[in-house]
Chains A and B, each alone.
Chain A
Amino acid sequence: MLRHLILVIERDFRLLMEYRLFLLIRWLWFSIQIAVFGLAISRLVILDDYINYYAAGIYVATLYSAAMFVAFDISEEAEHGFVDYLLSLPINRNILIIGRAVGGGLRSLAATAPPLILTLLFVGVRNPYTLFNALIGLSLLSFGVAGLAITIVSLLKSGAKTDILLGALDAFVIRLSTVFYPREFMPPAYSTAAAVNPLTHAAEVFRWALGLSYETPPTFSMVILLAFMISMTCIGIYLYERRIEGGGWTI
Chain B
Amino acid sequence: MVSNGGGVAVKIDNLTKYYGKFLAVDHLNLEIYDREIFGFLGPNGAGKSTTLLMLTTVLKPSDGTAYIYGVDIRKDPDRVRKMVGIAFQDPKLYWVHTPYETLYWHARVCGYSSQEAKQVVRDVLTQFDMWEARRKRAFELSGGMRKRVEIAKLFIQRPRLAIFDEPTAQIDVSGKHMIWEMIKELRDEGSTIILATNELYEADVLSDRVGIIYKGRIAALGTPQELKDTIPGGDVLELDLDKPIDDDTMEEIHEIREVVEVKRMNQRMRLYLNKVEEVLPRILTSLMERGYRVKRVDMREPTLDDVFLHYTGVKLAREETYA
Contact = CB atoms under 8 A, between A and B. Distances in A.
Contacts, number: 58
Interface in A4-38: 4, 7, 11, 15, 18
A246 B53 contact: yes
A248 to B, nearest CB: 7
Q: Is the interface of A mostly helix, strand, loop or mixed?
A: helix
A246 B19 CA distance: 12
B92 A245 contact: no
A84 B88 contact: yes
A11 B102 CA distance: 10
A91 B81 contact: yes
Contacts of B109: 4, 7, 89-91
B78 interface: yes
B94 interface: yes
A82 interface: yes
A90 B58 CA distance: 11
A87 B57 contact: yes
B308 to A, nearest CB: 25
Interface residues of B, number: 27
A87 B105 contact: no
B59 A246 contact: yes
A7 B114 CA distance: 11
Contacts of B90: 81
B59 A247 contact: yes
Contacts of A245: 58-60
Nearest to B159: A90
B93 A80 contact: yes
B25 interface: no
B57 A84 contact: no
B278 to A, nearest CB: 53
B105 A11 contact: yes
B57 A248 contact: no
A231 interface: no
A77 B57 CA distance: 19
Top 5 closest pairs, chain A to chain B, by CB? A85-B92, A246-B58, A90-B81, A90-B82, A88-B56
Interface of A: 4, 7, 11, 15, 18, 77, 80-82, 84-85, 87-93, 245-248
